Structure 1
Amino acid sequence: MESQDLRMFKQVAELQSISKAAEKLGYGQPNVSQRMKGLEDELGVKLFTRNNRGITLTKEGSTLLEYTHQIILLMEEAKSFVNPRKWKETLTIGAPQTIAAVKIPQLLSAFLKEHQSIEVKARTSDRQKLQEMLSYGELDGAFISGTYNRSQFESVYSYTEKPVLISPKHHPLRKQHGQTLIVNSDTNCLYRKKVLDFSKDSNFYEPAILELDSLESILQAVHDGLGISIVPADVVHSRKELQALQSKELPETMNVDFIIKQRKQQPQSIKKFIRFLQR
């Protein structure tokens, strides 16, 4: 078995599609199909069950995938230990925008002071996409607000954050018609749900909904007097420009988990990050 065949196999297995794996790797589909057929011939077993919806792993394929994760992990670690100046350890962390705005920079800044040799990347997306990226190996770990797939991922660290209602100065919380709620356009965003629940509990009458696709645009819209929203307390306390707004901490707390993919071996970089979080 060649390492490149195993890398191809990993992509095919995780994407459950030869065509998607070929596109992601930059190969032609026939090339990937031929390499996977060659791998099956070499091992003498079927690795995939093919159907109209794509492919799934056989029992033997699942076993090989576990070993593939370990082999690729050991190869990457070997390069970084043999020549750390050329091959740095890498760590890729995912988070939604609300967490990435303040919490992630604070954590990574402190982590990198202790582990300067690790190359760290942060990626932002919604909860569902983060889990897909983690499943496909594009992330080493992710901060998640709300539910996640517990059969595939495990939480290794958690903390709570306080939601804060923000509104322009001298802005009345009108229960009559005319209140504008500023929310994230991602329908799975927990802070969007928090705003809508707050409106319902406060008996707002037919509030207008303004959907925006980023935390920055939401904050700017509130700052410009367009309406009210709810964001993490860390965001409000860390930004001077938000001191011009009215803010009120809500009584509830929101739980955030740092999740990783369940597997026998984890990269050294994520082990170091987990130990850092758990201290």
Structure 2
Amino acid sequence: MLIRSLRSFLALQRYGTIVAAAEKVHLSQAAISVQLKNMEDELGVALFVRTRRSLEFTAAGQQMVPLAEQMVSLYEEMKALQTGRPLGGVLSLGVIISALAGVMPEVLRQVTEANPGLEVKIIAGISGDLVAQVDRGALDMAIVTQPPERFPTNLAVHHLYSEPFALITPSQAPCDDVVKALNSSMPYIAFDRGTWAGRLIDEYRLRSGLINRPAMELNSLDAIAGLVRQGLGTSIVPLIRGASWHQSRDLHIMPLPNFVRPVSLVTRQDQRDPMRIALLDAINTVLARQTR
């Protein structure tokens, strides 16, 4: 199967019509139609449902999309290894939402500027979901927090940095005693306990003998910080790198000793090295600048 047929297949999936796909890959509509029909014949499966006005992907066709993306990316990296050229193809990258608000904007800028032919597809989510997608091949790699248990054994884990957890209270009612703060009359605002970070915080509270029920539970660190700034409660949250909310004068922040969450890049053990190395290099460069 020719790589250019896979490019046409992916262009159709991305742009929705043969007309748009043909324009993107610089081929005629007839040429793309032939390529797609040849793909079906070679694979022995119907990839599309054809009507007079449209071409819709079948379930099998949708399942082929991530595999086609991987094949095109691998081909681009093979060329890059031989010629020293920038990377091309598609990188599907899962990122926890807190990292998108922290280090990742600058990392993505560096990676895409150095590799203009590389298309980065960002999937934002929570760590558990992203790790599962890497494990089954739906994502190339993901930036996630450390799980309460262990990562799947078939994944490679590259530690990036650690983020401390902190007690945050309103500046007008500062408190450096976590037990006193969370046992006070001020409501406790919990970070989403369905996330790994939320579970770690819950376990910390239980170890500290803090069993009061949360008055509120949110999955947004920015929203929690905003509520605490307004004096609506206290919370325990991770201090995410590169974010600005923990610089607020309306918050009193006390990092909790010996309580951190590692942030890592996870890939499959067989993951493509050039793509992984390019991303790790960019992340390490950004982190080095932030610590100066």
In the superposition, the TM-score normalised over structure 2's length comes to 0.60
Task: Give the aligned partner of residue 223 of structure 1.
Answer: 229
- Aligned residue for 2:57, secondary structure, equals coil
- Aligned residue for 2:228, secondary structure, equals helix
Gap change, CA 1:238 and 1:112, over 3 Å in 2: farther
Task: Give the aligned partner of residue 268 of structure 2.
Answer: 261
> Within 2, Cα distance between the matches of 1:237 and 1:127?
19
> Within 2, Cα distance between the matches of 1:200 and 1:236?
29
Within 5 Å, which residues of 2 pair with 1:76-91?
76-77=76-77, 88-91=88-91
> Within 1, Cα distance between the matches of 2:235 and 2:227?
9
Task: Give the aligned partner of residue 143 of structure 2.
Answer: 143
Worse-superposed segment, 243-252 or 133-142: 133-142
- Aligned residue for 2:257, secondary structure, equals coil
Letter in 2 for 1:250: L
> Within 2, Cα distance between the matches of 1:165 and 1:123?
29
- Cα drift, residue 136 of structure 1: 4.5
- Equivalent pair of 1:141/1:258 in contact (CA under 8 Å): yes
Deviation per residue, 1:173-205 (Å, 9 max, x gap): 445463422223352331x23433443344446
> Within 2, Cα distance between the matches of 1:194 and 1:70?
34
Within 5 Å, which residues of 2 pair with 1:131-210?
131-147=131-147, 149-171=151-173, 173-174=180-181, 176=183, 178-190=185-197, 192-204=198-210, 206-210=212-216
Residue 238 of structure 1: which of 237, 244, 250 is its match?
Answer: 244
Worse-superposed segment, 124-133 or 134-143: 134-143
- Equivalent pair of 1:91/1:270 in contact (CA under 8 Å): no
> Within 2, Cα distance between the matches of 1:269 and 1:175?
44
Letter in 2 for 1:182: I
Residue 212 of structure 1: which of 207, 214, 218 is its match?
Answer: 218
> Within 2, Cα distance between the matches of 1:149 and 1:240?
30
- Equivalent pair of 1:133/1:139 in contact (CA under 8 Å): yes
- Equivalent pair of 1:144/1:259 in contact (CA under 8 Å): yes
How many residues are matched?
227
- Equivalent pair of 1:93/1:123 in contact (CA under 8 Å): yes
Q: RMSD across aligned C-alpha pairs, in angstroms? A: 4.3
Letter in 2 for 1:273: L
> Within 2, Cα distance between the matches of 1:188 and 1:22?
37
Gap change, CA 1:73 and 1:209, over 3 Å in 2: same
- Equivalent pair of 2:171/2:249 in contact (CA under 8 Å): no
> Within 1, Cα distance between the matches of 2:284 and 2:251?
34
> Are positions 1:28 and 2:58 aligned together?
yes
Gap change, CA 1:78 and 1:221, over 3 Å in 2: same
> Within 2, Cα distance between the matches of 1:205 and 1:268?
48
Deviation per residue, 1:14-70 (Å, 9 max, x gap): xxxxxxx999x95335x76xxx9xxxxxxxxxxxxxxxxxxxxxxxxxxxxx9x897
- Equivalent pair of 2:88/2:116 in contact (CA under 8 Å): no
- Aligned residue for 2:108, secondary structure, equals helix
- Equivalent pair of 1:73/1:267 in contact (CA under 8 Å): no
> Are positions 1:125 and 2:155 aligned together?
no
Structure 2 residue runs without a partner (length 5+): 11-46, 50-54, 82-86, 286-292
